Amino acid sequence: MKICVIGTGYVGLVGSAVFANWGNKVVGVDIDEKKISKIKSGDMPIYEPGLKELVSKNIKNKHLSFTTNLAEAVKESEVIFICVGTPSGQTGAADLNAVWTVAKEIARVMNNYKVVVVKSTVPVGTNEEVERIIKGIVGEKPEFDVVSCPEFLREGYSIEDSNKTDRVVIGGKSQKGINKVKEIYAHLGAPVVECDLRSSEMIKYASNAFLATKISFINEIGQVCERAGADVINVAEGMGLDSRIGPRFLHAGLGYGGSCDPKDVEALYRTSTDQAYDFRLLRGVMEVNEQQRTHFVDRVRKYFGNLADREIACFGLAFKENTDDVRKSVAIEVIKLLRGEGVNIRAFDTVAEKNAKKELGSTGIRYVRDPYEAVKGAEALCILTEWKEFTKLDFKKIGRLLKNKVIFDGRNILEAKKMQDLGFSYFAVGRGNLSRVNGAN
Ligand code: UDX
């Protein structure tokens, strides 16, 4: 099938490569000329495992091309995916300007029947508005259908996720349009949820909000565990084995971040208030998420008494492991809070360092490429992102290099017993039992 993907961010770039790899003829479009020439030359604007290889393979076999010429790309395609960004505006509502602009541009150049698929995460009613905009420009002919097909890919695993998705959600008014999109995904054999446009839009928000709720729930349980002398890791394990609950997204830590979850929770809350409904549970989810980072910094401050001019090594800058993305990264937020108290930071995260520098600047922060260099002479180590690589480091050596043998593990990724055996004061999140072992908490 001939497909055009508009927007070459995470969703669009991965989407175009994956669609091409499935045997379609795909053209990726972006207004950013620099980005397009970078992609064409094999230099990916984002870090995503396997993406570079997939893009170059499909450019080589002529299944995939990139352009800034939207008109030509739309004209030669049957299905057009809108994958532009929908960032949070000042009120928390999604900023949809890019979606409206693209809808108008598509309408102006449409030459025959097209299926316009909105893949960007958009609030309820957006697809209908896209339909109205296009109709307002093209009139009766050419015919077109608007279809909603939200994206559920996790950053860091998006190529893998694309090929074994749990479900495909396709919303639309016309069966003809729905069937066209179904055809693209048919070979995966995944369950397909067919529904109306508004329900499809809501499925995406409800899913991300539920995942965020799971995280805030386990973080609240962690708060109680800390006070009651229980261990959130054991609690999550015991809960997760109940098949009705499931083990995933029950990892207590600094809270959720990233370009999707915080924005989607806020946008859903905004949708509810727009509909004159106060979604109290979501308010709590957001509050708890904020609390996790301040609670962590409170813990570090409590240990030292005063944080001014302390030298602290921070491992992790990305919003989660396996990505260079620092958008709404809790690691960045924690570093800002520590900086606000006068802490000098040695930051270690070679993958996310470049993006983090743009967010954090360099005042009071030394970006270090070697973890052992980062901890040398530092007064404590904070773990801020759940990179698996951190667990494989030589902690005996880290203990020798640190000025104080103290670790604040904001992601609960290290083995408490091992750290304690090595003589560390090991602070984790929601692990009230540690205090009874060695007085650490
Ligand atoms: C999310 C959705 O999961 C995905 O379906 C959607 O398409 C895009 O948004 P992503 O942004 O890649 O994916 O992040 P996700 O894997 O959901 O993690 C979000 C945040 O939650 C991260 O900051 C992570 O560190 C945190 N997290 C995750 C926890 O704190 N605990 C957990 O148990 C799981």
> Which residue's CA is the nearest one to ligand 1's atom 6?
152
Quote the pLDDT of residue 35.
96
Q: Which pLDDT belongs to residue 148?
A: 98
* Closest ligand 1 atom number to CA of residue 386: 25
Nearest CA to 87 out of 122, 132, 128, 133 is that of 122
Whole-angstrom distance, CA of residue 102 vs CA of residue 161: 27
Is residue 260 among the annotated active site residues? yes
Ligand 1 mutation target, pool 47, 121, 221, 261, most atoms within 8 A of CB: 261
Ligand 1 and 296: CB distance under 6 A:
no
CB 77 within 8 A of CB 112: no
Ligand 1 within 6 A of CB of 411? no
Query: Average pLDDT by consecutive 10-residue portion of the chain (441 residues)?
Result: 96 97 98 96 92 96 97 98 89 87 98 97 96 97 97 92 94 98 97 98 97 98 96 98 98 96 93 95 98 97 96 98 94 98 97 96 97 98 97 98 97 96 97 64 48
CA 429 to ligand 1 center in whole angstroms: 18
144 within ligand 1 shell (Cβ under 6 A): no
What's the rounded Cα separation, in Å, for the pair 285 and 185?
34
| pLDDT of 438 | 47
Query: Model pTM?
Result: 0.93
Q: Considering only CA atoms, which of 374, 375, 294, 370 is closest in space to residue 338? A: 294
Count of beta carbons in the 10 Å neighbourhood of residue 188: 15
**CA neighbor of 235 nearest in space, from 436, 440, 441, 431:** 431
Nearest residue (by CA) to ligand 1, atom 31, is 251
CA of 391 to the centre of ligand 1 (A): 20
The answer, yes or no, to whether any atom of ligand 1 lies below 6 A from the CB of 153, is yes
Catalytic residue (choose from 4, 83, 260, 382) = 260
pLDDT digits (tens, 9 = 90+) for 280-319: 999 999 999 999 999 999 999 999 999 999 999 999 999 9
What's the rounded Cα separation, in Å, for the pair 23 and 341? Answer: 54
Compute the distance from residue 258 Cα to the ligand 1 centre, in Å.
7
Q: Is the peptide bond before 142 cis (omega within 30 degrees of 0)?
A: yes
> Nearest C-alpha to atom 10 of ligand 1 is from which residue?
154
State in Å: Cα 170 to ligand 1 middle: 22
- CA 27 to each of CA 24, 32, 63, 65, 364: distance values in angstroms, whole numbers, following the listed order: 10, 15, 8, 5, 44
Distance 75 CA to ligand 1 centre (A): 36
